[in-house]
Amino acid sequence: MKIIPLLLLACVLFACTNTPVKTSAPTAQPKKVTTDVIAATDSDSIDISTDISEKKFIKKAKIKRILKYYPEIDQEVPEPPDETYASRGKNTPEIQPEDDHKIIFGCEACQDEYFELYAYFLYKRDGGNQYSTQRKTLIKLYRDINHIMMTLTGGGTYFGHQYKRILGYAEYSVYLYLKNKDDYYHKIYSIVNQKQLYIKSLKQYINDEISNDLSSTPNEQIALRKELFKTVTEIDGLLTEYFYLDAVREFQYSHY
């Protein structure tokens, strides 16, 4: 009769030795979320212009290549467009292959496109159309200044290239607005006197340049002065807050 208890004891011991050891489940690693700015077919094109009055289409495959070999163009903390352009392609982890698709932003027109792309990517980081009023106003202000300086100089390729690059400058100004709209750009005092001084200074500069242009007749000078003063009046009407006044002064004195 002792056989049965011994068999039961043996079964219990066997079961204990064969119980699988519980191991802790491997900790799930968080997936790295990457945002592909170009989500559709690479053969498609997108409009990268940040000026609603203009269109500029670029193949998505080309944009992917640009992001790969010129990553600085879409930084989380952006640098001003001129500084970004100066550092183009220096921090890429790979060397761009020498093939028919190689992209080099070396020429003047290529730099124009770089600035337009810079504006497009920063536009997406700036919230897209959320700040369309500020963007539209800045583009208008900067291009008005560019027009005045071009007219007084008698033209030149610099101003044509600036017309396109202004999209980059304007978008960086939008970025600065987002960063500083509640402190630096928020003034509790009236900007009327500063605004008047700026407009007066701009008119004085125009008047001095025209009056000392010996190649134009008095009648031509009168007509030109009238035309440019009209542009100044448009600028005056857009300077509704300190941000615009500060931005247009900085743009003018930095580039002309």
- Write the pLDDT tens digit of every residue in 9-49: 444 444 444 444 443 444 443 333 334 444 445 669 999 99
Residues forming beta bridges with residue 57, ordered by sequence position: 47
pLDDT below 50 — which residues of the chain? 1-40
Long-range pairs of 34-39 with CB within 8 A, sequence gap ≥ 24:
37/63, 37/67, 37/74, 37/121, 37/124, 38/63, 38/64
pLDDT for residue 43: 65
Tokens 């920063």 appear where?
Answer: 122
pLDDT for residue 95: 87
Burial 8-20 (b: 16+ CB within 10 A, else e): eeeeeeeeeeeee
User: pTM surpassing 0.75?
Assistant: yes
CA separation, residue 76 to residues 72, 81, 217 (Å): 9, 14, 53
pLDDT for residue 215: 92
pLDDT for residue 68: 95
With 0-12 / 13-18 / 19 or more C-beta atoms within 10 angstroms meaning exposed / middle / buried, residue 247 is buried
pLDDT for residue 101: 86
